[in-house]
Each structure stands twice: as structure tokens, then as C-alpha cells.
Amino acid sequence: MHVMTLTLPSELQGFVEEKVKTGAFASDAEVIRAAVTMMKNSDGEYEQQLKWLRDAIDVGWDQAKAGQLLTPDEVWTRLEERKRQWLAARGLHE
């Protein structure tokens, strides 16, 4: 295992110390390890979302080249439905 020495700004140092003080973590190292793990996972999720978006763009481009286009009204209707579903899934209303 490689030993690393970190210097944090006082506000981050206070945050880490508070996490240990409240018992959420046993040590400063555990707080930092958890933070880096969360960052790593977040990067992976971002890459997955980016791949999904690029794939969707490729599909859309192929459909457009094949003349499979939606009218503006169809696009608007689909967007409104997705918005309604998104809000409903979160218990929100327009």
C-alpha cells in the first residue's frame, strides 16, 4: 500500500474531522477513501451516460438519414409525456 500525505483547506479539514467526531467514520483516512470512491463511481456513471447519449445520437442520425423524422408536434408530445413521467416518479406535479 502506498502512503499518501494530503493537505486540505481548513474548511475541508473541518468537514473530515466532523465526520470522524460524529462517528460516521473511524478515521480521517476512511473519510478520504469514501470520498475518492464516490468520485470514482461518479466518473464511471458519467462515462456510461456519455456512451448512452452518443449511441442515441447515432441512432437518431441514422433515422434522420433514412427519413424517419418526427413532426414538431410529435416531439413536443413525447417531451411532455416524459416530463409527466419524470415528475410522477418523484412525487411532483406541474
Q: 38 vs 2, 32, 43, 44, 58, CA distance in Å? A: 20, 10, 9, 10, 30
**First-last CA distance in the chain:** 53
pLDDT tens sequence across 52-66: 999 999 999 999 999
Which alpha helices (H) appear in the chain, and where do they start and end? 10-21, 28-65, 72-89
pLDDT score at 6: 87
Instruction: Report the amino acid identity of residue 40.
Output: K
Closest CA to 29 of 4, 1, 53: 4
The pTM for the full model equals: 0.53
